[in-house]
Amino acid sequence: MDHCEIAVRVQPRAGANEIVGERAGVLVVRVTAAPTGGQANAALCRLIAKRARVGVRRVSIVRGAGGREKRIRVEGIGERELRKALGGDR
């Protein structure tokens, strides 16, 4: 089964849930949720799952759950398809 991992930088408490773009190979994502109690992590996983068109359970944080810099694993999609799906808001 296809899967891939990407580096993500999360900005919590933003005005909207959005994928801003990529900076130095790291995907920049803004979420409205606060970083307490795992809320921002859950919002990030939901946003990635929605954009990649996979179930939210197929998105997991493999490194950096307590910080802004994270490593995200997405099951059921290849890297090329994932990067296309996360290409930023149009």
**Residue 69: beta bridge partners?**
9
Q: Are strands 59-63 and 26-30 parallel, antiparallel or unpaired?
A: unpaired
Residue spans per domain, the chain: 3-85
**Tens of pLDDT, residues 6-45:** 999 999 999 999 999 999 999 999 999 999 999 999 999 9
Q: Would you say the pTM of this structure is higher than 0.75?
A: yes
Strands 18-23 and 26-30: what pairing? antiparallel
Look up residue 59 and give its two tokens: 């998105």
Region of 88 (left: φ > 0; alpha: ψ -120 to 50; beta: rest) is: left
Fold of the domain spanning 3-85:
Conserved Hypothetical Protein Mth637; Chain: A; (3.30.1200)
Confidence at residue 68, expressed as pLDDT on a 0 to 100 scale? 95
| Mean pLDDT in residue range 61-74 | 96
- Sheet-wide strand order for 3-11: 18-23, 26-30, 3-11, 69-75, 59-63
